[in-house]
Amino acid sequence: MKSIKKNTLIIRTIESGTIREDYAVAASVHLTLVYFVSGSGGEINLTPRVHLVGDGSSATVLGLVKGTKSASIQIHTLQHHKAPNTTSNLLIKSVLSDKSECKYDGGIRVDASAQKTDAYQRNENLLLDEHTKAVSSPALEILANDVRCTHGAVVKTLDENELWYLSTRGIDRGVSRSMIAEGFLLSAFSQIADGDERRQVEERMPFTV
């Protein structure tokens, strides 16, 4: 487990393999953790676990996922609140095409000692082709009684009205698909409050859609 003792931005690019990472965030420290996941075949299994162990610690976790061809992507997250007054905000967004699939399961665990926890978890998926698949399975384990924990999941396809609108502006269907998919993913950056961190993440995005 890696100990985070000062405000930290971590950006990881994942293209294959099985990856498990654990982070322990100290008191009054914020961790921004960003994953760019790109699969074009084979399997990716990613398990990031964030443990908020100090009073007032916080974390923002973002995952931007691009699946093409026959990629099989599995993402398992844990937001573990061990201390009081802790905050976590997690957003995983995927754009899937061809026959790719993304399976997400995310847990929020709040210990009895973690009063005043504020935890949010959301998974959004955009399916570009009919043979793609997205599955989302959230889970909450709350042992404290003064907390706010919410989660949500969305699986959607391309909006034909948006495609039609872009076609009336002279943009062909292929370009329109890419524009909509890129906008869908890039909207995740608004979750990063620090402007310098947000710019760093935008500059290091390794793929287009």
Q: Please provide the DSSP assignment of 131-147 as one string.
A: T-EEEEEEEEEE--SSE
pLDDT at 165 over 80: no
Give CA–CA dist 116/142, Å, rounded.
12
52/71 Cα distance (integer angstroms): 32
Confidence of residue 77 (pLDDT cuts 50, 70, 90): very high
* Assigned domain for 209 exists: no
Instruction: Give the lowest-confidence range in 39-53, 97-111, 165-179.
Output: 165-179
CA 36 from chain centre, in angstroms, equals 9
Mean pLDDT value across residues 105-115: 97
In a domain, 125, yes or no: yes
pLDDT on residue 176: 85
- Cβ contact 53:28 at 8 Å: no
The answer to whether residue 72 sits within a structural domain is yes
35-56 CB burial, b ≥16 within 10 A, e <16? bbbbbeeeebbbebbbbbbbbb
- Structural domain count, the chain: 1
The mean pLDDT value for 186-204 works out to: 95
The answer, yes or no, to whether residue 153 has pLDDT greater than 90, is yes
- Nearest partner of 125 among 60, 73, 53, 197, judged by Cα: 73
| pLDDT, greater one: 178 or 126 | 126
Tell me the average pLDDT across 170-199.
90
Q: For residue 29, give the DSSP letter.
A: -
Look at residue 197 and tell me if it is in a domain. yes
Ordered strands of the 58-67 beta sheet:
8-14, 30-39, 58-67, 87-96, 117-127, 147-157
Q: How confident is the model at residue 177 (pLDDT cuts 50, 70, 90)?
A: confident
Q: Say whether 54 sits in a helix, a strand or coil.
A: coil
Determine the structural domain holding residue 117 and report its residue range: 2-204
Q: Average pLDDT over the chain, rounded to whole?
A: 94
At residue 132, the pLDDT reads 96
Report phi then psi at 166, rounded to 5: -65, -35
Q: Give the pLDDT score at 33.
A: 98
Cβ atoms of residues 22 and 1 within 8 Å? yes
Q: Please state which of the ranges 5-14, 22-31, 177-186 shows the lowest mean pLDDT.
A: 177-186
Per DSSP, 27 falls in state T
Residue 69 falls in which region: left (phi positive, over 0), alpha (psi -120 to 50) or beta: left
β-pairing, 17-25 vs 8-14, is unpaired
pLDDT of 73 over the 90 cut: yes
Q: Which helix (H) or strand (E) holds 107?
A: strand 101-110
pTM for the whole structure: 0.94
Reported as a pLDDT band with limits 50, 70 and 90, residue 175 is confident
